[in-house]
């Protein structure tokens, strides 16, 4: 059944890719080094603190052996007191070392997250908007949250702890061997048992956790789709079918959670029992050697202390491979983002028009394709004079929106050139281009914030007065004032509380905040009520007086108000002139007119 296929299919959102640690290539290492370099002083201090911790960890058990064997056993009270003080002091050092190591490495880790996240966001916003459509918003978000977190853990605290754990374990084995190598060999029997049991549990846990994550994502998607598709579900009478599907997902979620609980329940007893095993080995074999006179009671105590300090890191190391693998996968994905070229590059030698920005737009033999060999704009040539208002018309898919995207340089042309006041767009500093050529697109996007902040967004330092002036010029002021909270009205998700026409007026006001020399307007729809239509037309007349306007027209009144109408077909310019001239002589325009505007006189019907 296709619905079921689609419904379930979209929930298979698991994007877990296994990543070979060996292919953590040079680029990845380079990236880590690059982000750690500014913090090398802190890392060095953390390393020193770590060495202090290791040294005291090794000394303390030995000290207890000395206290027992050399002072308590012979009844030396002053010696005992002195060594007890030393023991206390070393414990103090241990505390300080641990504190600074933890603090410094966490600081570096958080700072790396912060830097990396900022750079990644910058990279993402430098991509063409198509990028987000291909990658899905959720996936991009997961790059910037989960992946960066997984990475930072491994980069700072993780790497340092790994080195520290290894050093400490080597140190402990050496210290034990120096005191009593026979007992050391016997004690080490416990090591492989601890390692294998923990590694096994760790692997199972990771798999189980991943399943839980996936099942949670599926349940969420199930809720979202069921609820947002509620109208369809109810009108087709498929409530029980949908509930059934949902229950199936819930059941899988429950089973996955139970698996995690079972494994988790095994972890603590396993840890305890392996500890006990080590202690039992020391007590029985060590005890025998004490009775034989081959070793001392102090040695036994020191060994008990050493293995406790040994097994902690050993357990960590058994688990760390998994964690490093997760970090490696995250790193691979992050590197892929960091190395993405921006969609349009800042010019190497920026130029500005000699006479300042006037608003003359020229296209010279422009050809552009999204996919190789499928040109959407072909050999397109056109000049628009400063202050001119032109209307673009053409059937859906003719290339109107693409043309608008090219003139605002959201994409670069493949052949030919687009110039603003005589300068190739690719030679203009991006900031200058963005504040002089502005596109108000078909699907107006408003942030879930107040109307005031949505307008101010184009120029965050603008005053409330300036915001209201822009709204006035865009003919948005009156309707905003009539809202109960006026400019402080929250527009809701994606501007849902405003009508299409009102959203367009707010977007116009936002565009006017930057006073662009060239304003491109992709009209949302032909369908606005007569009142809003009059408002938009009034606003456009006022706005168009002192700037160049390119309007992708869906309303007949726009065509009437334009100085010139350009007719597009399959990415080519096939006619230009006034409505009267085109309706006389241009077959493409005649067809368009018949279909869109003729039926209801000046009233339009088709959406594009």
Which residues are at the interface with ligand ADP (CB under 6 A)?
A: 130, 370, 376, 394, 396-402, 608
Q: By CB under 5 A, tell whether 596 contacts Mg ion.
A: no
One DSSP character per residue, 204-256 reads HHHHHHHHHHHHHHHHHHHHHHHHHTHHHHHHTT-HHHHHHHHHHHHHHHHHH
Helix (H, G, I), strand (E, B) or coil at 109: helix
Element (H, E) at 533: helix 530-544
Q: Which does 396 bind (CB under 5 to 8 A by kind): ligand ADP, Mg ion, none?
A: ligand ADP
Q: By CB under 5 A, tell whether 402 contacts Mg ion.
A: no
CA distance 312 to 275: 9
- In the bound state with ligand ADP, the residue whose beta carbon lies nearer, of 287 and 397, is 397
What's the angle, vertex CA 221, arms to CA 130 and CA 327, rounded to 5? 70
Closest distance of CB 540 from ligand ADP, Å:
19
Closest distance of CB 370 from ligand ADP, Å:
3
518 and 547 Cβ atoms separated by less than 8 Å: yes
CA distance 312 to 319: 11
Closest distance of CB 420 from ligand ADP, Å:
20
Closest CA to 467 of 477, 436, 519: 477
- In the bound state with Mg ion, the residue whose beta carbon lies nearer, of 401 and 475, is 401
Interface characters, 306-335, with Mg ion (x: CB under 5 A): ------------------------------
Closest distance of CB 430 from ligand ADP, Å:
20
CA distance 351 to 349: 7
- In the bound state with Mg ion, the residue whose beta carbon lies nearer, of 286 and 399, is 399
Residue nearest to Mg ion (CB): 401
Closest distance of CB 425 from ligand ADP, Å:
18
Tokens describing residue 73: 């056993």
- In the bound state with Mg ion, the residue whose beta carbon lies nearer, of 357 and 368, is 368
Closest distance of CB 405 from ligand ADP, Å:
7
Closest distance of CB 601 from Mg ion, Å:
24
267 and 202 Cβ atoms separated by less than 8 Å: no
The phi and psi torsions of 375 (rounded to 5 degrees) equal -60, 135
The count of residues in the chain is 608
Using CB under 5 A, which of 127, 242, 274, 401 touches Mg ion?
401
Q: Which does 390 bind (CB under 5 to 8 A by kind): ligand ADP, Mg ion, none?
A: none
From the centroid of its chain, how far is CA 581? 52
Closest distance of CB 14 from Mg ion, Å:
35
- In the bound state with ligand ADP, the residue whose beta carbon lies nearer, of 233 and 398, is 398
Closest distance of CB 444 from ligand ADP, Å:
15
* From 97-105, 130-138, 316-324, 397-405, span contacting Mg ion (CB under 5 A): 397-405
CA distance 539 to 505: 8
- In the bound state with ligand ADP, the residue whose beta carbon lies nearer, of 411 and 517, is 411
Q: Which does 292 bind (CB under 5 to 8 A by kind): ligand ADP, Mg ion, none?
A: none
Q: Which does 200 bind (CB under 5 to 8 A by kind): Mg ion, ligand ADP, none?
A: none
Q: Which does 370 bind (CB under 5 to 8 A by kind): Mg ion, ligand ADP, none?
A: ligand ADP
- In the bound state with ligand ADP, the residue whose beta carbon lies nearer, of 398 and 418, is 398
- In the bound state with Mg ion, the residue whose beta carbon lies nearer, of 156 and 401, is 401
- In the bound state with ligand ADP, the residue whose beta carbon lies nearer, of 299 and 504, is 504
- In the bound state with Mg ion, the residue whose beta carbon lies nearer, of 401 and 502, is 401
Contacts 24+ apart (CB under 8 A), 15-22: 15/139, 15/142, 16/210, 16/214, 16/329, 17/329, 17/332, 17/333, 18/325, 18/329, 19/325, 19/328, 19/329, 19/331, 19/332, 20/328, 21/324, 21/325, 21/328
Closest distance of CB 404 from ligand ADP, Å:
8
Interface characters, 357-396, with Mg ion (x: CB under 5 A): ----------------------------------------
Beta pairing, strands 375-384 & 548-552: unpaired
Closest CA to 356 of 508, 515, 511, 564: 515
Per CB under 5 A, residues contacting Mg ion are 401
């Amino acid at each position: 059944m296709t619905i079921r296929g689609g419904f379930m299919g979209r929930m298979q959102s698991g994007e877990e890719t296994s990543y070979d640690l060996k292919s953590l290539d040079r680029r990845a290492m380079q990236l880590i080094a690059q982000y750690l370099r500014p913090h090398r002083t802190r890392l060095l201090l953390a390393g020193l603190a770590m060495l202090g911790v290791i040294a005291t960890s090794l000394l303390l058990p030995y000290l207890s052996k000395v206290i027992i064997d050399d002072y308590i056993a012979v009844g030396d009270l002053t010696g005992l007191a002195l060594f007890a003080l030393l023991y206390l002091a070393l414990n103090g050092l241990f505390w300080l070392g641990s504190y600074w190591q933890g603090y410094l490495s966490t600081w570096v880790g958080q700072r790396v997250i912060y830097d990396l996240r900022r750079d990644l966001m910058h990279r993402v916003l430098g991509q063409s908007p198509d990028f987000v459509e291909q990658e899905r918003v959720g996936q991009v978000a997961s790059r910037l949250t989960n992946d960066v977190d997984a990475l930072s853990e491994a980069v700072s605290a993780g790497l340092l702890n790994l080195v520290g754990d290894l050093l400490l374990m080597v140190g402990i084995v050496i210290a034990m061997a120096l005191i009593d190598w026979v007992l050391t060999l016997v004690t080490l029997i416990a090591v492989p048992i601890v390692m294998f049991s923990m590694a096994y549990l760790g692997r199972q846990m990771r798999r189980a956790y991943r399943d839980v994550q996936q099942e949670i994502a599926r349940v969420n998607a199930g809720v979202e789709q069921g609820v947002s598709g509620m109208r369809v579900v109810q009108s087709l009478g498929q409530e029980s079918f949908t509930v059934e599907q949902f229950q199936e997902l819930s059941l899988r979620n429950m089973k996955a959670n139970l698996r995690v609980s079972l494994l988790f329940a095994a972890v603590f007893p396993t840890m305890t029992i392996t500890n006990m095993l080590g202690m039992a080995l020391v007590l029985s074999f060590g005890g025998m050697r004490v009775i034989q006179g081959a070793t001392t009671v102090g040695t036994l105590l020191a060994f008990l202390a050493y293995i406790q300090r040994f097994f902690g890191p050993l357990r960590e190391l058994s688990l760390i491979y998994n964690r490093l693998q997760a970090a490696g996968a995250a790193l691979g994905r992050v590197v892929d983002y960091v190395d993405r070229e921006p969609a349009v590059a800042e010019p190497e030698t920026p130029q500005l028009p000699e006479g300042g920005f006037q608003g003359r737009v020229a296209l010279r033999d422009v050809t552009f394709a999204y996919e190789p060999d499928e040109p959407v704009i072909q050999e397109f040539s056109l000049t628009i004079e400063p202050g001119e208002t032109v209307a673009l018309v053409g059937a859906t898919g003719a290339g109107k929106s693409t043309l608008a995207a090219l003139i605002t340089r959201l994409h670069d042309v493949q052949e030919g050139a687009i110039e603003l006041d005589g300068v190739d767009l690719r030679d203009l500093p991006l900031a200058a281009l963005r504040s002089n050529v502005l596109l108000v697109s078909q699907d107006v996007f408003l942030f879930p914030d107040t109307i005031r902040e949505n307008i101010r967004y184009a120029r965050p330092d603008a005053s409330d007065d300036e915001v209201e002036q822009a709204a006035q010029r865009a003919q948005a002021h009156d309707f905003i004032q009539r809202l109960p909270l006026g400019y402080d009205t929250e527009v809701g998700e994606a501007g849902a509380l405003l009508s299409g026409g009102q959203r367009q007026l707010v977007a116009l006001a936002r565009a006017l905040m930057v006073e662009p020399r060239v304003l491109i307007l992709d009209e949302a729809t032909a369908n606005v009520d007569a009142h809003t239509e009059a408002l938009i037309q009034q606003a456009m007349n006022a706005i168009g007086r002192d700037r160049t306007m390119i309007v992708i027209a869906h309303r007949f009144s726009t065509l009437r108000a334009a100085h010139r109408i350009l007719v597009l077909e399959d990415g080519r310019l096939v006619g230009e002139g006034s409505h009267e001239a085109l309706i006389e002589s241009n077959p493409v325009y005649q067809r368009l007119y018949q279909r869109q505007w003729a039926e209801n006189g000046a009233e339009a019907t088709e959406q594009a």
